[in-house]
Amino acid sequence: KSKDSHEPEFIQTVTEVLSSLEKVIDCHPQYQEAQLLERLLEPERIVSFRVPWMTDEGKYAVNRGFRVQFNSAIGPYKGGLRFHPSVNQSVMKFLAFEQIFKNSLTGLPIGGGKGGSDFNPKGKSDNEIMRFCQSFMTELYRHIGPNLDIPAGDIGVGSREIGYLYGQYKRITGDFCGVLTGKGLTYGGSLIRTQATGYGIIYLANEVLKARGRSLKKKKLTISGSGNVAIYAAEKAIELGASVIAMCDSNGFIYDKEGLDISIIKEIKEVGYGRIREYVESKPKAEYTEGFKGIWNIPCDIALPCATQNEIDLESAKMLLKNKCWMVCEGSNMPSTLDAMSAFADAGILFIPSKAANAGGVAVSALEMSQNSQRLSWPSEEVDCRLKNIMAEIYQNMAVAAIKYGKSSQDFITGANVTAFLKVADAMMEQGLV
């Protein structure tokens, strides 16, 4: 849409989704008659607001906050909050648009939203993070609610930030309800939520491999990022017999051909909020290289981009293919540029798009909402079992849709987009002019 041409990330995701929907739209003329796509591309609401806060030195600071409530056709808005200097309206809209389809794929009743701020949590003290979160929620609280919009974490927003945000919501409203997910276990969080996105990626990858008579055993994985998603994808992959040979943060990457020890990375990142380079202090045999892009030049069987959008460009895709990588499973949102995706498709490798692969996180967030409504907390085995089943179902649905509407039975991009789209489209049609 030309009116959005100044929003490159949003245009990119819309281009990717729409180009895979041509066949399904042709088969359903009623969507065209009802101008469904035009309606689907316009967010229901965008809130943008000032977030003033005070540094430890007593200086004034101000950031911009956002909440994009994109589509509530199948349930209340649901999607994370991202605190990162790169956040702007285009990034928020791309993430919220992706979220509509991801949430639909889970089979659970949740609509699509996303929010965040251009605040940079790096190098900030605990008190500064708390003051920022309190100020952010002082505006956000009026736009969210347990049956309206339920935010969660994303880049830069983990359990510490969710705690501060929830505390402030409760102070203002006096309402102890499930308005945020990713909460701590002492105040309504769900077991397995921390692990869910990473575990879900591996459960889905495993389904894809199982259907082809293969497994993760002895496969070499490269995983970008070393945050929540990357860490738990690595943990589950190792548990299933794979070795994770490289991981990174935005400064650089570590490599050990014998496989990395994920418990050390957890200690560095989750306890110390440190940098990945610290790994070599515990394991001097591993190598650290400055600059994270070189991670894609390491020969591997399977690549899991789990850091951020557009982290695999055409050049990185070519490096992966040259080194005989035969599967890419996207953990972060939109990690591959459009030309990188084309290169993978031309090479015919297995490619699992992010909206399917990383749907486990929001799925367990929705399970957290269910537990909060029931005022119960399910054991971890139950949540994990539900997560596994949801990921297996996503695989089945996208595989069936790929055969019906895709360029090949392995066209999981079309498979995922079509499955997700049909549910949202039908819900919008049935609700009239929404």
Known catalytic residues?
114
User: In whole angstroms, what is the distance from residue 304 CA to residue 335 CA?
Assistant: 10
Q: Contact between 225 and ligand NDP (CB under 6 A)?
A: yes
Least separation in angstroms between residue 215's CB and ligand NDP is 24
Contact 69, 77 (CB under 8 A): yes
Within 13 Å of residue 290, how many CA atoms lie on the same side as its CB?
0
> Residues near 364 by Cβ (< 8 Å), separated by ≥ 6?
190, 192, 193, 196, 200, 383, 386, 387
Strand boundaries in 164-286, DSSP class E? 220-223, 243-248, 252-255
Identity at 330, one-letter amino acid code: E
Contact 5, 11 (CB under 8 A): yes
Q: Contact between 229 and ligand NDP (CB under 6 A)?
A: yes
Least separation in angstroms between residue 212's CB and ligand NDP is 25
Residue bearing tokens 């993070």: 129
Q: Contact between 390 and ligand NDP (CB under 6 A)?
A: no
Site string for ligand NDP, 232-271 (x = CB under 6 A): -----------------xxx--------------------
Least separation in angstroms between residue 104's CB and ligand NDP is 14
How many residues of this chain interact with ligand NDP, rule: CB under 6 A? Answer: 23
Contact 64, 91 (CB under 8 A): no
Least separation in angstroms between residue 172's CB and ligand NDP is 25
Contact 114, 44 (CB under 8 A): no
Least separation in angstroms between residue 395's CB and ligand NDP is 17
Residues 329-358 that bind ligand NDP (CB under 6 A): 331-333, 358
Q: Is 310 left (phi over 0), alpha (psi -120 to 50) or beta?
A: left
DSSP letter for each residue of 140-154:
HGGG-BTTTEEEE-B
Q: Closer to ligand NDP at the Cβ: 43 or 156?
A: 156
Q: Write the DSSP symbol of residue 157.
A: B
Least separation in angstroms between residue 365's CB and ligand NDP is 8
From 9-17, 224-232, 237-245, 389-397, span contacting ligand NDP (CB under 6 A)? 224-232
Specify which residues 243 forms β-bridges with.
220
From 150-158, 205-213, 321-329, 413-421, span contacting ligand NDP (CB under 6 A)? 150-158
Contacting residue, 361, 390, 391, 427, with ligand NDP by CB under 6 A: 361
Q: Closer to ligand NDP at the Cβ: 200 or 415?
A: 200
Binding site for ligand NDP (CB under 6 A): 153-156, 197, 225-230, 249-251, 292, 306-308, 331-333, 358, 361
